[in-house]
């Protein structure tokens, strides 16, 4: 292989050879006690110096992945093969898992595992009007790609909204449109995280975010979130000690707990982030779904030095099916995010952005939003009414889509989950949200997706199952 | 940090510490001659054994990234900092670049750098009818998520299409819907490639695919593509020698050359892929855009053992703005792709899939497609007419969207490119498509995006600029 054809790497060659060998062993291409290629052969195959292969083999031997026998060569150690996807245990660089998505993939009658809004609560009839409007205004929208960063008109409108609503300094150049918050988290992780980087995450937190961070090789450090927010002294100690690259937060009607971090902590945490150069990644999809009082401004509003990235996915209630999300951040993060977005999918579909824009700026949306808040509160109260007599515990949320319920100690969540799924009732076991994998007496009940009747019936059945256990 | 909170890794701890340190140096957080943290401090910070840090420092010293001074500690070597994004040279794990996207981002009057179809050639007036139909049929489409794998109805329809058209054995479970071919390539690279893996790529090839493969740490090995296809003996020799994990091909109206690999080579290459366990990743966006004769069946049609992944993005002419692409592949790749998709964006928007489905299955599309083929041929001929007198060379393509032009040796592409961009004419320099970074006398002219008048005018201006140089 010619040199110019090979990828440029930051890593020394012998580490790459090491990765290459580990990779093959993990895939089971070489099993326990299989003889590995000789140094000479592998050096030829990979077009590297024999010393490089020798170094890689030495590393493998030191790690116990490989053993040497009678000077005849290198052999795979019996312990070296790591669990595969099917065995589902370790999150390796190649074995990706997403247990939350696995639960949600199962069709169930009583669907309480999705933190989504019942499509029946969305103004479906009106939405098609906006689509027609979009085609009148932009007849060629189906043949046109958006710019990678996102439609200029949409970014202009959203930056104006943020400036007005939270008095931010924000230009359209500081917004990126992504296909949902999930993509935003993935892109941020790709540009910010490297191996051994530490990430602070709330405990509990959104489980798929943890899957994404681990996929990038990061180590997660939990920060407890309570009804009164974080223990900032502890956060500061963790920042000092671990120099985390980022703190992933969902501070407003938090998923899964429903807690909201109080206003006085917001400014202080931004100051800590600036002092310790720890990026705050603020995921904020539930802000507008409050019940009584509007929540405090986002952390991003207190940021003056560019240490907050703000993921604003109001698409949960505007039109979740469009998958439109806005990410606000400063240079140089924005430049890197745009490149990552271009490699990921080259830009979010223009049609979706334009429909979103026109519905979002309509007077109808505000009207709808008022009704939706009431409907969600009614949903929440249905669950609370049914659970009132059970002795199960929760902190009544002030907004959001979920109830974070503590079951009595004698009740096994594993057994409850298995029996419920068998009766077509889905919820999410609490341990999935816990970076420590504990919280085994907690469950998340999403009250937003099922219609009122189905919700009440399903919760009654869930309680009945629990009584039987 | 508690043990259970840390990510599970396949890599030994000291390699992770090494990666962590390299990462910080690359980011410029520690500059040349800066003192690195002591072994004791770093061990405490990262919660690892001191010996682990010591091993990492020893590796860094061996690599010349770090030097030891008077026993007082470890210091950053002056050569250790690699070029950053701004300097644009090396593709590091963190510094992503996409020069093709950079060129296309610049707004130009004569846009010949986009292999896209002029939106004026799409049946825009009719497309809005299908959108209305979708809202009538699925009133809640805007509030509904697609499954991660893609809408069942769409996958059912497309698998039927493939079965009928190419007599494939293919079920809907073997199709994944992605947001464009770009996302498909990215997801495949993530699940298939690891560090030091080799990838065969055509020379020339789609530049962004190379960017994606390099981002995963792969090494690229070029396979020349000519008007008569590949040299299969050479391909076999490369497979034997390098054991490539995949061969990324675009064998039908190839981008940028327009070549089509002949039918007799297709079965043979699939056999080679099976023999050498090298995945063929077949990117096939231009199949239906032929001028006279329909091209041979895809490689996927010859695959019996699951060694071809087929990326079928007919959305280029159906409705590029929808960003709908189908990936066909067999177990176990499909399982892994679905998980990668769930972490990437949790599923392509349902609205886009449903619109695509209804337009795609309409009689109108076939009618439109016939007209489109003629229009594209006319576009191509306009460029050929204008270039006829220049002495520039090209192989007349039988389909696709591009002309791959060889300029006379005395003409500098760099200078032509700079002067053209200054006059609002965009094309792509050939070297961007070359895994070896050569091909400096080639340019790609996409004739599909500009309207006929603009196309002729722009080509005339381009020729005039070339004459001046």
CATH 1.10.10.10 in chain B: give the residue spans: 6-76
CATH class belonging to A3-76: mainly alpha
pLDDT of residue B59: 81
Closest residue in A to B62 (Cα) is A12
Residue B91: pLDDT band with limits 50, 70, 90 = very low
Q: Which of B194, B204, B178 is nearest to B311 (CA)?
A: B178
Closest-CA distance of chain A to residue B379, Å = 17
Q: What is the mean pLDDT of residues B451-460?
A: 96
pLDDT (average), residues B198-215: 93
Q: Which fold would CATH assign to domain B6-76?
A: Arc Repressor Mutant, subunit A (1.10.10)
Residue B107, SS3 per DSSP: coil
Q: Distance (Å) from the C-alpha of residue A401 to the closest C-alpha of chain B? A: 15
Half-sphere exposure for B340 (CA within 13 Å, toward CB): 25
Residue A317 distance to chain B (closest CA, Å): 8
Phi and psi at residue B203, to the nearest 5°: -125, 115
Tell me if A241 and B435 make a contact (CB, 8 A cut-off): no
Neighbouring C-beta atoms of residue A387, cutoff 10 Å = 18
Contacts of A355 in chain B (CB under 8 A): 142
Looking at residue B41, its pLDDT comes to 87
Chain A residues close to B96, C-beta within 8 Å: 190-191, 336, 339-340, 343
Could you check whether the bond before residue B332 is cis, i.e. omega within 30 degrees of 0?
yes
**pLDDT tens per residue across all 469 residues of chain A:** 333 333 333 456 777 788 788 877 776 778 888 889 988 888 888 878 888 888 888 888 877 788 888 667 888 887 533 333 222 222 223 334 567 777 877 788 999 998 889 888 888 778 888 888 898 899 888 888 888 999 999 999 999 999 999 888 899 999 999 999 999 999 999 989 877 789 999 999 998 899 999 888 788 999 999 999 999 999 999 999 999 999 999 999 999 999 999 999 999 999 999 999 999 999 999 999 999 999 999 999 999 889 999 999 887 888 888 999 999 998 888 988 998 999 999 999 999 999 999 989 988 888 889 999 999 999 999 999 999 999 999 999 999 999 999 999 999 999 999 999 999 999 999 999 999 989 999 999 999 999 999 999 999 999 999 999 8
Closest residue of chain A to B149, computed from CA coordinates: A105
For chain A, residues classed under CATH 3.90.1150.10 are: 99-119+371-468
| Poorest-pLDDT segment among A106-110, B170-174, B282-286 | A106-110
Kindly report, as residue ranges, where domains of CATH 1.10.10.10 are found in chain A.
Answer: 3-76
Quick one: which H or E segment has residue B178?
Answer: strand B175-178
Chain region(s) in chain B for CATH 3.90.1150.10: 99-119+365-468
> If you count residue pairs, one on A and one on B, with CB atoms under 8 Å apart, how many are there?
331
Report in angstroms the alpha-carbon separations of A51 from A8, B15, B80, B192.
20, 19, 22, 28
Rounded CA-CA distance B389/A440 in Å is 77
Q: Which residues of B touch A91 (CB under 8 A)?
A: 7-8
Mean pLDDT of all residues in B318-332:
90
Cβ distance A7 to B119 less than 8 Å, yes or no, reads no
Q: Which residue of A has its CA nearest to B179?
A: A345
> Looking at chain B, which residue has its C-alpha nearest residue A23?
B194
Contact A85 B339 (CB under 8 A): yes
Subunit contact B124:A140, Cβ cutoff 8 A: yes
Residue B222 neighbours by CB under 8 Å, 6+ apart? A5, B200, B201, B202, B203, B434, B435, B436
Question: How far does B390 lie from chain A, in Å, by closest CA?
Answer: 32
Identify the architecture of domain A121-364 in CATH: 3-Layer(aba) Sandwich (3.40)
- Measured in angstroms, the CA of A182 and the nearest CA of chain B are apart by 5
Chain A residue with minimum CA distance to B320: A143
Strand pairing class (B66-69; B325-328): unpaired
- The minimal CB distance from B179 to the residues A96, A179, A198 is found for A179
**Residue A273 pLDDT:** 96
In chain A, residues with a C-beta closer than 8 Å to the C-beta of B345 are 179-180, 182-183, 186, 323, 345
- Whether the pLDDT of residue B287 is over 50: the answer is yes
Closest Cβ–Cβ partner in A19, A122, A221 for B5:
A221
CATH classification code of B122-362:
3.40.640.10
Are the beta carbons of A191 and B12 separated by less than 8 Å?
Answer: no
pLDDT tens for B25-47 read 776 778 888 889 888 888 888 87
Residues contacting residue A293 through CB under 8 Å, at least 6 positions apart: A398
Q: Do A12 and B215 touch (CB under 8 A)?
A: no
CATH number for the domain running over A99-119+371-468: 3.90.1150.10
pLDDT at B93: 31
- Range in A308-322, B198-212, B268-282 the model is least confident about: A308-322
In chain B, which residues fall in CATH 3.40.640.10?
122-362
CATH topology assigned to domain B99-119+365-468: 3.90.1150
| ipTM score of complex | 0.80
Q: How much is the pLDDT for A356?
A: 93
Asked if pLDDT for residue B94 goes beyond 80, the answer is no
Query: Which of B322, B345, B351, B360 is best to mutate for the A interface (most A CBs within 10 A)?
Result: B345
Nearest CA in chain B to A82: B10
Where does chain A hold its CATH 3.40.640.10 domain(s)? 121-364
Instruction: List, for residues B352-400, the tens digit of each pLDDT value.
Output: 999 999 989 988 888 889 999 999 999 999 999 999 999 999 999 999 9
Chosen from A343, A358, A359, A431 to mutate, greatest number of chain B CBs within 10 A? A343
Q: Do the chains contact at A180 and B345, CB–CB below 8 Å?
A: yes
């Amino acid at each position: 292989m010619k040199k110019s054809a090979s990828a440029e790497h930051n890593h020394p060659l012998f580490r790459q050879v090491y990765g290459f060998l580990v990779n093959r062993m993990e895939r089971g291409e070489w099993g326990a006690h299989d003889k590995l290629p000789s140094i000479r052969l592998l050096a030829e195959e990979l077009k590297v110096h024999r010393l490089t292969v020798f170094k890689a083999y030495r590393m493998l031997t030191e790690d116990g992945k490989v053993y040497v026998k009678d000077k005849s060569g290198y052999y795979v150690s019996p312990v070296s093969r790591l669990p595969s996807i099917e065995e589902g245990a370790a999150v390796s660089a190649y074995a990706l898992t997403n247990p939350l998505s696995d639960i949600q993939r199962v069709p169930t009658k009583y669907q309480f595992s999705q933190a989504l809004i019942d499509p029946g609560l969305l103004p479906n009839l009106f939405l098609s009007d906006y689509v027609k409007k979009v085609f009148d205004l932009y007849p060629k929208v189906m043949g046109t790609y958006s710019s990678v960063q996102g439609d200029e008109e949409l970014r202009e409108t959203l930056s104006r909204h943020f400036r007005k609503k939270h008095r931010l300094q924000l230009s359209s150049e500081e917004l990126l449109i992504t296909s949902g918050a999930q993509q935003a988290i993935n892109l941020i992780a790709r540009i910010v995280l490297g191996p051994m980087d530490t990430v602070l995450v709330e405990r509990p937190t959104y489980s798929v975010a943890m899957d994404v961070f681990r996929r990038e090789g990061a180590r997660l450090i939990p920060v407890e979130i309570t009804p009164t927010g974080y223990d900032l002294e502890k956060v500061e100690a963790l920042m000092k000690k671990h120099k985390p690259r980022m703190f992933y937060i969902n501070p407003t009607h938090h998923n899964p707990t429903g807690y909201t971090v109080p206003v006085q902590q917001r400014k202080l945490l931004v100051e800590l982030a600036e002092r310790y150069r720890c990026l705050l990644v603020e995921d904020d999809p539930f802000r507008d779904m409050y019940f009584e009082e509007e929540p405090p401004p986002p952390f991003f509003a207190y940021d003056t030095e560019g240490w907050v990235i703000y993921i604003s996915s109001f698409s949960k209630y505007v039109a979740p099916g469009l998958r439109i999300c806005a990410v606000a951040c400063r240079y140089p993060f924005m430049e890197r995010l745009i490149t990552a977005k271009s490699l990921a999918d080259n830009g979010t579909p223009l049609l979706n952005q334009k429909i979103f824009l026109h519905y979002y700026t309509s007077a109808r949306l505000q009207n709808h939003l008022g009704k939706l808040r009431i409907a969600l509160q009614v949903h929440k109260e249905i669950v609370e009414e049914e659970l009132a007599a059970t002795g199960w515990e929760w902190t009544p949320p002030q907004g959001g889509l979920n109830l974070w319920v503590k079951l009595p100690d004698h009740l096994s969540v594993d057994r409850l989950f298995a029996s419920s799924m068998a009766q077509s009732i889905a919820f999410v076991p609490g341990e999935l949200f816990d970076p420590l994998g504990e919280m085994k007496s907690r469950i998340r009940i999403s009250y937003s997706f099922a219609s009122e009747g189905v919700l009440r019936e399903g919760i009654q059945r869930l309680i009945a199952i629990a009584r039987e256990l």
